[in-house]
Structure 1
Amino acid sequence: MLDKNGKEMVTGCVVEIKNAYFKTDNGLYFVEKSPEELGWLGSDYCLLKLKRNGQLSTAKKNICFWPIMSFVSDRMKSIEANAWNKEHATIEVRTDIDRQYIKEYFKEEAKRLDPMIEHMKYNFGEDHPETIKQIKLRDHRMEVSGSIQ
């Protein structure tokens, strides 16, 4: 998917959402998972919120999906928010944000898979499809962290 300026959104890039219906949806995010990524079954982009300095946000509502869909208990408000977001919300790839914290995030994600991979190798063998899938996912996470400048 392309942003409002025609730039491709890929895993690891920083994006900024503007003009969303709910104020908490606006801000800086990084693309944690994209639709074509290995191991991601969603058709949307999974975004994690960032602070202005590029660190991961610790806010309660720090996950967003693009395109934005609102799910609130008031059905009419949800319909209004979704219509507003479809018409007005924009997303833009930002290249002026320090991505060092994002690089570290993906390295840590890859390291977290190591114990599971070792467990699967021990129980199922190295050539089991699930073991191979987890190894590919770990390698992909390391590849993403290596491609971040």
Structure 2
Amino acid sequence: MRSRTASCSCGQLRIDVQGEPLGVGVCHCFACQRRTGSVFAALAAFAAPYTVSGTATEYVRTGDQGARFRFRFCPVCGTNLFHTEEGYEESSVAVAVGALADPSFPPPEDSVYDCRRHSWVQLPPGIRTYEKDPT
């Protein structure tokens, strides 16, 4: 089974995941834009188990559909590395694709909150788009 490690910028916080991603997507909601400091968040979901090394600071946010998300970031360099959805921590984790530092990583399959996508952002051909969160 393939193993992958995502790391913060300073290397203090790491997460190890196993296997292929359950899904890869981008989110253009304003919360993700502000959280990442970019025009969208690129995320990959992985099945548990996963292993976290280092110290993380947590930020909890309630999504538009009422789900609570626990974002973990490095208290040293500020990298937002991964998050879990409350109630699903034991089954899956979403990792920031850029933190995997793997240019060969699979492209996104889904794009959510397309209504907030910057007009100059081009998506891969064939990607499923949703005006808001489909869940």
User: TM-score, normalised on structure 2?
Assistant: 0.30
Whichever of the two has the greater Rg, that structure is: 1
Structure with the higher fraction of residues in strand conformation: 2
